[in-house]
Structure 1
Amino acid sequence: MTTSLPDTAETDRIDQVLDQLAEGETAWAACGLARRRELLEQVHAATAAHARAWVEAAAGYKQLPSGSPLFGEEWISGPYAVLTATTALADSVRALEQGRSPVDDYTLAAGPEGRVAVRVLPHTRWDRLLLNGFSAEVWMPPGTTAAEVRDRAGLGLRTPTATAGIGVVLGAGNITSIPVLDVLYELYAHNRVVALKLNPITDPLLDVFRAVLDPFIRIGAVRVLTGGADVGGYLVRHTKVAHVHMTGSAATHDAIVFGTGPEGEQRRRSGTPLLDKPVSSELGGVSPVIVVPGDWSEADLRFQAEHVATQRLHNGGYNCIAGQVVLLSRDWPQKDRFLAHLRHVLAQAPARPAYYPGSDTRVTQALATHPTAERLAGGRVLLPGLRPSEADPALTTEYFAPVLGVLELPGGPREFLDAAVETANTELLGTLGVNVLAHPATIAALGRTFDEAVARLRYGTIAVNAWTGLGYLTPTATWGAFPGHTLQDVQSGIGVVHNAVLLDSPERTVVRGPFRPAPRSVLHGEFALTPRPPWFVTNRTAATTGERLTAFASRPRWSALPGIFASALRG
């Protein structure tokens, strides 16, 4: 990296922090499984106690209007995600305490092409009630046996005294649960103590993060730092740091690993990194939304337009997993009607400021490079008429802004799906997540063709009639790029996080959901009881539902369910 060094006082502070963590590693190694489970339970309690402060701080720097339903995003993708993760991870630790494998309570089934599929959602009775109709499986690599899955689950917790040094986590600046979840994974999956360096955007959450992580801070296993790129650069290069994990963009990754400018690019091409330690990462990309043609009702067209708009506009578009390119069949008779609904939802979704640095510049670039670009209300941009194999920047640049492209391919359901899978795999940057929307009758008609198409998608999370964001929110699912990327061609990153079952070397997560919300789902034979999900940008009661879900995740109980269901139905 070519960033300047911090001043002497700052480097002395960082050195002191790393010295403290080196001592804390001894304390962490002495923590047996029971103690590690207790620490998770303490983090869970601290998260519940500071949940409101967490949401208010995040909404403050994101400049959300008072009373906006968008507060629901902060409840669900902030404290709620940490509460469910600590619960699931504590269950895995408890299984190991009892001499069992963390997967013993999960169903293992035969997946495609010799894979083992671990069914991670629904898992509890609460899952079956609150996410009725949704499911998720973690697929292991072909050839891995069920016995190997059971024997290897647990990762670093199988040998808790064999700690692995100090890890640096470079925290994300968008979704507020990411820094805490990444710290938990370093501690429990990799058995490393952690220096968490916050993205400056999230500095207003410093006190909340320290309060939530206080059980680990008190034993010396975690420290939380702030500062700019100079602090991050000094940290990751420090001789006492054994590993670096980051969330961000591929460009930031390459700057950290190889340096900047022509010299950095030359080092990347030659495979000679400046950073002399392992790096794992989650880096986003250009996420596709594959809309398989079928015979949709007007209600279906409206709902799925809301679904696609949510995939782009959640958190203002500042998501590593935000849908960026919609793949449509140009021969679908309902294509124009669907696009009309999509334009309407994009324009009418709740307004919000562009809080993430560089957003306006990226929107301007998208407009300048696409003559057919359409400016919509609220600063949203639609890019119709994209074409594959033409080096279109919309296919190779993660905009990280409210910009959505549309790429049309020929054919009916079968031909289109084949072409869409090939395009997604070969023409779009990254492999973090892909969304597939298809009418149940079309899926049934395609049969094995549809299942084979899903299996051919080379993405870390695949969502069928759901958003891959649900994969992020499912703590027992895995989150990360499709395996196989390298430092030189990092794409969407290396490694996984979340993975509360602590599976060894998982391949991907496949999420499925209902094509229609309740009650239409029941009327059409899907038997899914979930109404419009609270993460939809069109959900009018998302803030109330998100707050109630968070309170429930802190202490699950039957008495809380009527209030959650009532709010969800009003949404």
Structure 2
Amino acid sequence: MTSATTRPTNESPSKAAAVDEGERERLDTAVADLQAGATTWAALTLAQRVTLLRAVRTNVAAAAEDWAVTAAASKGLDARHPLRGEEWLSGPYAVLGYLDASIETLSRLASGRNPLDGVRIDRAPGGRTRVHAFPLTGIDRFLLSGFTGEVWLEPGITPNAARAAAGLAQRTPTASGGVGLVLGAGNVTAIPVLDVLYELLAHNRTALLKVNPTQDALVPVFKRALAPLIGPGFLRIVRGGPAVGAYLTGHRDLVHVHITGSAATFDAIVWGTGASGARRRRESRPQLKKPITAELGGVSPIIVVPGRWTDADLAYQAEHVATMRLQNGGHNCIAGQVVILSEDWDQADAFRAALRRAYANAPERPIWYPGSTSRMELASDAYPDALVLGDRLLVEIDADDDASALQSTEYFSPVLGVVSVPGTGQDFLDAAVAYANDELQGTLGANLLIDPATEKALGAGFERAITALRYGSIAINGWTAFGFLTPTLSWGAFPGNTIQDVGSGIGVVHNALLLDGVERSIVRGPFRPLPRALPIVNGGGRFTILPTPPWFVSARTGAEVSEGLTRFRANGGVLGLVKTLARALRA
């Protein structure tokens, strides 16, 4: 996620003199507390860890409203803004879901069962094992009907090996992983908390969380929500700018760094800055002397497979694409940025027109993330003929245009591009996959829209094309943000990146089933919403009870439904859920 996460400017940890003596003492004390906490964590039984996570869940539920309201206000969304529901779903809802899934995983391990007991496992193309990781509960099957999720493991890992490794560090709970540093994201409020939890559960590491300055207002909320982890020394939360980050990345008692941010920030941490940093990189002499994992974003494709679409299909999927770009103001690592159309699709012009309408009609909101305005200006300079639609840009690439800036720059702002490649059917799909793999920067997430009849006609060729997509998260008739919000799916770049060429990052997070050897996760969703999802009019597509999903920027009741779903996740209550579903039907 392109962000302003800490960017060290010193050339070695010893040169972090910008942190004064009092600040160093405060940070050293926090690290020492976490070292003691690591010993305590290693002494806890799995059953005790389950009890602890339940206490965290109680606190997060109690803090949910304050969390969402504070986050919305920090992004310029008042109590009447139609998009304020985003902060419920991408904050407390995501964390509560992760806690529930993690409690289930640890409860199984504590009782001598396997996290994959009762979970369907089969084979995916290329010798891969596929874990059908969503939905696993009745309420998810109902509320999110039509959506499924799979985790594909790296080729060669057998189902038996997958079961044997499931649980990661929780299979050896007494083996301490030491103390890790989490450099928190600045754009989505659940990310720092989810990263801390993954440190504890996947690696048995206590965590020092340095929040991004954009989330300073949420620190009191985080401290209340995570008090059960702070008290025993499993977590410390600190604020600070680049000097604090530089001091901590070089701290000898921190054994690991995890960052959600930009590749430029990653490189500054690993190699240093300026001429000396460039020299270290050439010589493969990193200044960072400890392991690092990262989630760093990229330029995400939206592949639109040509078919025979109705006018309602065109309008709905255009709103879907607009959501992929404009949710959170476009300040998302996983925001769709390049729409790939077929130049031979006879409905391409109709879809372009629908996309212009949907993109222009979405509610306006502040461009709040630091640096995003300058990136908008970069896009305007590169594409002076781009359509200016309110507070956003739509770049339609013609045959004579240079697409390189759009392909290589993660704008992290409301800039959406449209490109065309030749072909229809399998020829188009293969060309679009090759374009995404070879021309677009990064491997974090890819989205693909395809009607049921066309998918059926492609048959095995469709699955071969999906297998060829080199992305860590793939959404078919969905947005990869759904995968981000689904705790039992993994989140991270496609494997293979290194500190020399980090791309979209190294390693995965979330992954509440604690699977080893993850390659990618795949979300499959319904092409049509209710009522067009009914079998009689759906052409063999997936049924769903959802009309316009609440995360769509076009959902008229999205704010109320998102809040209602979070409150239901937090506290239960059938009456509240019924009212929320009634509002959803008016979306």
TM-score w.r.t. the length of structure 2 is: 0.95
Give the aligned partner of residue 317 of structure 1: 330
Tell me by how many angstroms 1:559 deviates.
4.0
Change in Cα spacing, 1:458 to 1:64, as seen in structure 2 (3 Å) is: same
Task: Give runs of aligned pairs for residues 409-448 of structure 1, distance below 5 A.
Answer: 409-448=421-460
Task: Give runs of aligned pairs for residues 179-328 of structure 1, distance below 5 A.
Answer: 179-328=192-341
Select 2:417's aligned residue among 405, 412, 431: 405
Give the aligned partner of residue 9 of structure 2: 2
- Is 1:472 aligned to residue 457 of structure 2? no
Contact 1:88 1:500 in 2 (8 A): yes
Give the aligned partner of residue 461 of structure 2: 449
Give the aligned partner of residue 3 of structure 2: none
Tell me by how many angstroms 1:308 deviates.
0.3
- Could you say what secondary structure the match of 2:126 adopts? helix
Tell me by how many angstroms 1:459 deviates.
0.3
Residue by residue over 1:515-547, the C-alpha shift from the partner in whole angstroms, topping out at 9 and shown as x without a partner, is 010110113243222211111001111111111
Residue by residue over 1:250-287, the C-alpha shift from the partner in whole angstroms, topping out at 9 and shown as x without a partner, is 11111111112233233223322110000000000000
Give the aligned partner of residue 380 of structure 2: 367
Query: How far apart are the structure 2 equivalents of 1:269 and 1:107?
Result: 46
- Could you say what secondary structure the match of 1:508 adopts? strand
Query: How far apart are the structure 2 equivalents of 1:222 and 1:279?
Result: 19
Query: How far apart are the structure 1 equivalents of 2:530 and 2:283?
Result: 54
Query: How far apart are the structure 2 equivalents of 1:394 and 1:438?
Result: 24
Query: How far apart are the structure 1 equivalents of 2:548 and 2:118?
Result: 30
Contact 1:166 1:241 in 2 (8 A): yes
Tell me by how many angstroms 1:389 deviates.
11
Query: How far apart are the structure 2 equivalents of 1:306 and 1:468?
Result: 15
- Is 1:381 aligned to residue 393 of structure 2? yes
Select 2:119's aligned residue among 106, 116, 136: 106
Tell me by how many angstroms 1:22 deviates.
1.1
Query: How far apart are the structure 2 equivalents of 1:428 and 1:266?
Result: 27
- Could you say what secondary structure the match of 2:503 adopts? coil
Letter in 2 for 1:512: R
Give the aligned partner of residue 138 of structure 2: 125
Change in Cα spacing, 1:65 to 1:29, as seen in structure 2 (3 Å) is: same
Query: How far apart are the structure 1 equivalents of 2:36 and 2:471?
Result: 39
Tell me by how many angstroms 1:298 deviates.
0.4
Give the aligned partner of residue 70 of structure 2: 57
Residue by residue over 1:342-363, the C-alpha shift from the partner in whole angstroms, topping out at 9 and shown as x without a partner, is 1111111111111100111000
Change in Cα spacing, 1:387 to 1:117, as seen in structure 2 (3 Å) is: farther
Give the aligned partner of residue 562 of structure 1: 578
Query: How far apart are the structure 2 equivalents of 1:268 and 1:547?
Result: 47
Contact 1:388 1:407 in 2 (8 A): no
Query: How far apart are the structure 1 equivalents of 2:398 and 2:443?
Result: 20
Residue by residue over 1:66-121, the C-alpha shift from the partner in whole angstroms, topping out at 9 and shown as x without a partner, is 31121110000100000010000000000000111111131111211221111111
Query: How far apart are the structure 2 equivalents of 1:271 and 1:539?
Result: 50
Contact 1:386 1:392 in 2 (8 A): no
Tell me by how many angstroms 1:387 deviates.
6.8
Residue by residue over 1:167-193, the C-alpha shift from the partner in whole angstroms, topping out at 9 and shown as x without a partner, is 000000011000000000000101001
Query: How far apart are the structure 1 equivalents of 2:115 and 2:288?
Result: 34
The range that moved more, 493-502 or 413-422, is 413-422
- Could you say what secondary structure the match of 1:411 adopts? coil
Query: How far apart are the structure 2 equivalents of 1:518 and 1:111?
Result: 30
Tell me by how many angstroms 1:161 deviates.
1.0
Query: How far apart are the structure 1 equivalents of 2:356 and 2:402?
Result: 25
Query: How far apart are the structure 1 equivalents of 2:284 and 2:556?
Result: 50
- Could you say what secondary structure the match of 1:521 adopts? coil
- Is 1:491 aligned to residue 507 of structure 2? no
Unpaired runs of at least 5, structure 1: none
- Paired residues in the alignment total 570
Residue by residue over 1:178-223, the C-alpha shift from the partner in whole angstroms, topping out at 9 and shown as x without a partner, is 0000000000101001000000000000001111111010101100
Contact 2:565 2:580 in 1 (8 A): yes
Give the aligned partner of residue 13 of structure 2: none
- Could you say what secondary structure the match of 2:585 adopts? helix
Give the aligned partner of residue 543 of structure 1: 559
Contact 1:388 1:427 in 2 (8 A): no
Contact 2:447 2:476 in 1 (8 A): yes
Contact 1:370 1:383 in 2 (8 A): yes
Contact 1:462 1:468 in 2 (8 A): yes
Query: How far apart are the structure 1 equivalents of 2:494 and 2:97?
Result: 24
Letter in 2 for 1:532: T
Give the aligned partner of residue 5 of structure 2: none
Tell me by how many angstroms 1:558 deviates.
4.0
Letter in 2 for 1:398: E
- Is 1:32 aligned to residue 39 of structure 2? no
Letter in 1 for 2:577: L
RMSD over aligned Cα, in angstroms?
A: 1.4
- Could you say what secondary structure the match of 2:66 adopts? helix
Tell me by how many angstroms 1:553 deviates.
1.0
The range that moved more, 331-340 or 183-192, is 331-340
Contact 1:388 1:423 in 2 (8 A): no
Letter in 1 for 2:474: I
Query: How far apart are the structure 1 equivalents of 2:555 and 2:274?
Result: 44
Give the aligned partner of residue 15 of structure 1: 28
Change in Cα spacing, 1:120 to 1:274, as seen in structure 2 (3 Å) is: same
Tell me by how many angstroms 1:564 deviates.
2.3
Contact 2:157 2:517 in 1 (8 A): no
Select 1:76's aligned residue among 70, 84, 89: 89
Tell me by how many angstroms 1:561 deviates.
3.1
Letter in 1 for 2:99: T
Contact 1:387 1:407 in 2 (8 A): no
TM-score w.r.t. the length of structure 1 is: 0.98
Letter in 1 for 2:584: A
Tell me by how many angstroms 1:297 deviates.
0.5
Query: How far apart are the structure 1 equivalents of 2:39 and 2:230?
Result: 14
Residue by residue over 1:349-392, the C-alpha shift from the partner in whole angstroms, topping out at 9 and shown as x without a partner, is 11111110011100011010113311111x10011116799671
Letter in 1 for 2:288: L
Unpaired runs of at least 5, structure 2: 1-7, 11-15
